[in-house]
Structure 1
Amino acid sequence: MPDIRPTPAGTPAGPDGRAANTAPPSHAAPIENPRELLLAVLGVCAVVVLVALDATIVGTVLPKVATELGGIALYAWVGTGYLLSSVIMIPIFGRLGDLYGRKTFILVSIGVVALGSILCGISQSMPQLIGARSLQGIGGGMMIATAFAAPADLFPDALRRVKWQALISTAFAVASGVGPLIGGAVTEAINWRAAFFVTPLMAIVAFALLWVYFPRLTPVHTSRPRIDWLGGALLAVAVGAPMAALELGFGEVSRPLLAGVLALVGAVAIAVLIPYEGRVTSPMLPLQVLKTRESRLLNLVGLMMGSVMFTLMYYGPLLLQVEVGMTPSQAGGILAPLVACIPIGSVINGRLFPRQSQPQRLMMLGAIVLAVGCFGIMTLERGSATWFAVVAFSISGLGLGFIVPNLTLFMQMIADRRDVGVASALIQTTRTLGSAIGTAAVGIIIARTSVLTGVKIGMVIAVLFCIATVALSSQIRMKNARM
């Protein structure tokens, strides 16, 4: 076994093998009490569960909502409004958390999500529902930006952090899987409005745990930090405009001219943002988070893996029901192993990580396993054995479990300690963009061909993305710390 003990400072090594800057950025001492540390982590887990429920519980509720409120034409915008506001907020609040600490923002985000969910539950029209979901997206983006960076505050040592991140990944994956089931069950038992009140109940638990046990870590600054408002605005346009263009260009309600204009606006914003942020003293998007080849490759992998993951989750059930001939409950039962095996893969990854001299190999292994699973799903057709479908989806989930947590962990290891929040947020943003692009692309293919053809092409693309991930991961030079 290679010697990969922590450096004398207790820090992991960066891509060049030298100790990365991971000293705690605060005046607060690290939590030493195991019980308090566990409760703080459970608070973070409660938040990621809230994030997952907030994003997925509406899935099984929305068809009935749209029918009752008479807004089928606006159906897609309920999800798009949430996604747009969320993806805009993620990088912005990732940076603000680095500057001012994360506890306040994460507590505020819980309140915003709860308020948005209540407003969804009392909405009387589709425009009201879209507005409420967009408000939820703002809170959801804040939560994603802070919750996924919070483990770096609690565990500056990456070798220790990776074990706890497995627990957080498990909470997120399980909640993502049960969210649609909860939404459907509550809707059938009571009504669709009641489903939106599940999130506020979970918010109370998350708020209480974080309020009491999560430390208030205040970053140290030699001078008072200045907020880069212009950079934030440019970043919002650079991220949000292409997302809106994607929906308007290829969604059910197509507006190609407006989509083209938004795409152009997004391109201009990116062209202005990059040189501007390079000149600002305290930029909203510190370009140093992308200065290394490794960070750029990780974000490219994140883009592809976001596409693969959400293609599986969105179109896997559709394939099973429409083409394989399963009932919705049977399809849900087969999709469950995909969700369940993600945390299993994460736990195994966490066990193997400290033993690897080149931990990027774990991501390569995950991509190979994921490719095998996607290839198996691609072969499903009417009459396929149930056990084969279960195995194919389980293998895919296992592969994702080796990739998803490492994307965040590697970005945190590469980034300077002061930029860990925005680095974590950036990888979440690229994954979200990838999920939007992937689901939109497969949806277009399905609309123009068939479910079977569309999903098969989607799985071919997924396999190609896995092969590309193996190749790119081999170029990522990550090293665990050595004495």
Structure 2
Amino acid sequence: MPDSTELKHLNREEIRSVTPDSSASSTQGLTPNDLPAGYYYSKNFIGSVAGVCLMAISLYLGYVLPANTLTTINEDLGPDPNYILISTSYTLISGVGLLLVGRLGDIFGRRYFYIGGQTIGFIGAIVGATAQNIPTLIAGAVLTGCAASVQLTFTFVISELVPNKHRPAVNSGLFLSTMPFAAFGPLIAQLLVKNTAKGWRWNYYLNCITCGLSAILFTLFYFPPGYNQLNKGKSRWEQVKKLDYVGLVLYSAGLVLLLLGLSWGGSSYPWKSGHVIATLVVGIVTLVLFALWETCAPLEQPFLPTKLLKNVNYVAVCVAASVGTMIYFSLNVLWPQQIAALYTTDPVQAGWLAFTIMGGLGVGFQEMISIIMSALICKPEDIGLASSFLAAIKQVAGTIATAIYVSILTNRLSETLAPTVTPAALNAGLPESSIPALLKAIAAGASDALDSVPGMTSKIAVAVGEATKTAYSHSFQTVYFTSIAFGGIATIAAFFSRSIDDKMTSEVARKLRGTGASNDDVSRSPKVV
């Protein structure tokens, strides 16, 4: 250790690096006065912000654009009945990996998770862009899903590096950078299909660009507190041995089975089929075992510390935020169907109409508040855990809501379609013997299917079209009434939340290294000897 004479010649930043236990304190729990001059204008900070913005954009490119062109993709590479797995595998993998990335990032540091995640996303996008069949595209979706488990944490990567009171502004800026693809994604996807030679493959070309650039920026400029700064005197092997592997297996297996069962129900298999029931039951039982293990087992470093779930404010935020995600996920599925059924089948017009619901300010407002509150309620060392668990819960809630809403819509249509369309068709002059063929043609959904119905005329087709819209309108109405109940749950949860105004301070959770006036990294300062 340097003597007092040597310390006199060291600046404030260097003194921290040579005093005991300084590695953690020099990068966590700081105030703006502790930050070096030029912190916000340094190449490392600006490069990190640019990398995170591109990472956030790649998150939406990886899901929104492919999800809005699945039918086109299946027509081009298929037909393959498993094409829906392009979206399902993405959400499954990202939902499972999210909590793992957040938890391990808190312990080992985030730098290499983000470099690795964006590199995997780059490879997955290449696989998708060059795929010649649906199974290959599903494999690419698995890789982009792994990347998404990292990308979904973009909300706290930069906000933890700035004062608490500036986090709302920082998060707003990050979300603003994603707006072109988060809000206009459906329209952009359809325009690419309609106006480019490569069509839907541009979904993946764009993702290649954002993932690749982001990985390069993280490699060159993103230097958050590393392992030595986060862990005082503990070796990596010690931390690896303390990891909760049983909890990890139970959580991953249970969540995969639950999400898979929900995704299968009503689409790949009937809800009452053995595939769906067995998968859901085993998944739920496994998650219950995970909860018991985390609560009762004597774990030194649990995968999901129960202290987080004992925080009423945090739980209230999670419940309220999950409802917002339920609305967002379900609208991604239902609103395009409603547009096609009631308004237009033109892809470009449908894309513009999709923007009117995707840009809902209410859900966005709720999303922003929940993200900020969840990170400030917990301790700085648990930011990744708290934010990732919130995001994982929202993924599950969104999948559950989609399954519920689609099931309600399907059941209501089976109840209203025939009674509404049949009288309209008969009154317009369609022979009664043609009713079964008519209902089959409507179920097929093809615009030319009605032409094959015996006795069909243009007058009858108009009457049938209006009656079909009426049936769909009543069915969607039931779905929206159901969503009111979920909104009520969110409102009740909001009353249990508590103000975090006292947390909006000048404290900085973690300092980015290498941001001083001379761009010297903390790790290059004199060390303890």
Give the TM-score, by structure 2 length.
Answer: 0.71
Whether contact under 8 Å (1:302, 1:407) holds in the other structure is yes
Moved more, 119-128 or 108-117: 119-128
The C-alpha deviation readout for 1:335-358, integer Å capped at 9, x for no partner, is: 324444xxxxxxxxxxxxxxxxxx
- The partner residue of 1:265 within 244, 267, 282 is 282
Whether contact under 8 Å (1:177, 1:336) holds in the other structure is yes
Identify the residue that residue 83 of structure 1 maps to in structure 2.
Answer: 91
The C-alpha deviation readout for 1:436-472, integer Å capped at 9, x for no partner, is: 1222222222223334334322322333322332222
**Distance in 2 between the 1:55 and 1:431 partners?**
16
Identify the residue that residue 105 of structure 1 maps to in structure 2.
Answer: 113
Whether contact under 8 Å (1:24, 1:417) holds in the other structure is no
Give the unaligned 5+ runs of structure 1. Answer: 1-21, 341-396
The residue correspondences of 1:256-405 to structure 2 (distance < 5 A) are 256-278=273-295, 279-325=298-344, 327-340=346-359, 397-405=360-368
Identify the residue that residue 39 of structure 2 maps to in structure 1.
Answer: 33
Supply the RMSD in Å over aligned alpha carbons: 2.6
Identify the residue that residue 366 of structure 1 maps to in structure 2.
Answer: none
- The partner residue of 2:259 within 225, 230, 243 is 243
Whether contact under 8 Å (2:94, 2:146) holds in the other structure is yes
- Give how far 1:316 is off: 2.1
Whether contact under 8 Å (1:61, 1:195) holds in the other structure is no
Whether contact under 8 Å (1:26, 1:217) holds in the other structure is no
Identify the residue that residue 136 of structure 1 maps to in structure 2.
Answer: 144
Moved more, 198-207 or 168-177: 168-177
Identify the residue that residue 346 of structure 1 maps to in structure 2.
Answer: none
Whether contact under 8 Å (1:306, 1:434) holds in the other structure is yes
The C-alpha deviation readout for 1:192-246, integer Å capped at 9, x for no partner, is: 3343222111122222333333223225224232332222111111221110111
Name the aligned partner's letter for residue 481 of structure 1.
D
Moved more, 407-416 or 209-218: 209-218
**Distance in 1 between the 2:179 and 2:397 partners?**
18
Name the aligned partner's letter for residue 289 of structure 1.
L
Identify the residue that residue 459 of structure 1 maps to in structure 2.
Answer: 480
Q: Does 1:58 pair with 2:66? A: yes
The residue correspondences of 1:183-194 to structure 2 (distance < 5 A) are 183-188=189-194, 189-191=196-198, 192-194=200-202
- Give how far 1:81 is off: 1.0
- Give how far 1:311 is off: 2.3
Q: Give the fraction of aligned pairs with identical amino acids, expressed as a percent.
A: 19
**Distance in 2 between the 1:412 and 1:24 partners?**
17
**Distance in 1 between the 2:117 and 2:314 partners?**
27
The C-alpha deviation readout for 1:164-186, integer Å capped at 9, x for no partner, is: 11111222343222333333333
**Distance in 1 between the 2:370 and 2:190 partners?**
32
Instruction: State the SS of the aligned residue for 2:231.
Output: coil
Identify the residue that residue 220 of structure 1 maps to in structure 2.
Answer: 230
- The partner residue of 1:476 within 466, 475, 497 is 497
Whether contact under 8 Å (1:302, 1:434) holds in the other structure is no
Moved more, 74-83 or 454-463: 454-463
The C-alpha deviation readout for 1:327-384, integer Å capped at 9, x for no partner, is: 44333223324444xxxxxxxxxxxxxxxxxxxxxxxxxxxxxxxxxxxxxxxxxxxx
- Give how far 1:149 is off: 2.6
**Distance in 2 between the 1:67 and 1:59 partners?**
14
**Distance in 2 between the 1:148 and 1:233 partners?**
26
Identify the residue that residue 431 of structure 1 maps to in structure 2.
Answer: 394
Name the aligned partner's letter for residue 68 of structure 1.
D
Q: Does 1:417 pair with 2:373? A: no
Moved more, 296-305 or 105-114: 296-305
- Give how far 1:133 is off: 0.8
- The partner residue of 1:170 within 168, 172, 176 is 176
Q: Does 1:160 pair with 2:177? A: no
Moved more, 408-417 or 255-264: 255-264
The C-alpha deviation readout for 1:257-281, integer Å capped at 9, x for no partner, is: 1222222222232222223224211
**Distance in 1 between the 2:487 and 2:50 partners?**
32
Name the aligned partner's letter for residue 265 of structure 2.
G
Moved more, 461-470 or 427-436: 461-470
Whether contact under 8 Å (1:82, 1:134) holds in the other structure is yes
**Distance in 1 between the 2:281 and 2:336 partners?**
35
Flag the 1:292–1:24 CA change in 2: closer, same or farther, 3 A: farther
Instruction: State the SS of the aligned residue for 2:67.
Output: coil
Flag the 1:319–1:249 CA change in 2: closer, same or farther, 3 A: closer
Flag the 1:251–1:406 CA change in 2: closer, same or farther, 3 A: same
- Give how far 1:115 is off: 0.6
**Distance in 2 between the 1:230 and 1:172 partners?**
37
Instruction: State the SS of the aligned residue for 1:285.
Output: coil
**Distance in 1 between the 2:152 and 2:123 partners?**
17
**Distance in 2 between the 1:127 and 1:220 partners?**
42
Name the aligned partner's letter for residue 250 of structure 1.
G
**Distance in 1 between the 2:192 and 2:264 partners?**
32
**Distance in 1 between the 2:133 and 2:344 partners?**
35
Q: Does 1:199 pair with 2:207? A: yes
Flag the 1:402–1:117 CA change in 2: closer, same or farther, 3 A: same
**Distance in 1 between the 2:405 and 2:179 partners?**
23
Moved more, 434-443 or 446-455: 446-455
Whether contact under 8 Å (1:73, 1:253) holds in the other structure is no
Q: Does 1:117 pair with 2:125? A: yes
**Distance in 1 between the 2:342 and 2:489 partners?**
29
Q: Does 1:231 pair with 2:252? A: no
Flag the 1:187–1:177 CA change in 2: closer, same or farther, 3 A: same
**Distance in 2 between the 1:38 and 1:440 partners?**
41
**Distance in 2 between the 1:317 and 1:63 partners?**
12
Whether contact under 8 Å (1:86, 1:137) holds in the other structure is yes
**Distance in 2 between the 1:182 and 1:235 partners?**
36
Whether contact under 8 Å (2:61, 2:203) holds in the other structure is no
**Distance in 2 between the 1:207 and 1:135 partners?**
15
Name the aligned partner's letter for residue 486 of structure 2.
F
Moved more, 171-180 or 293-302: 171-180
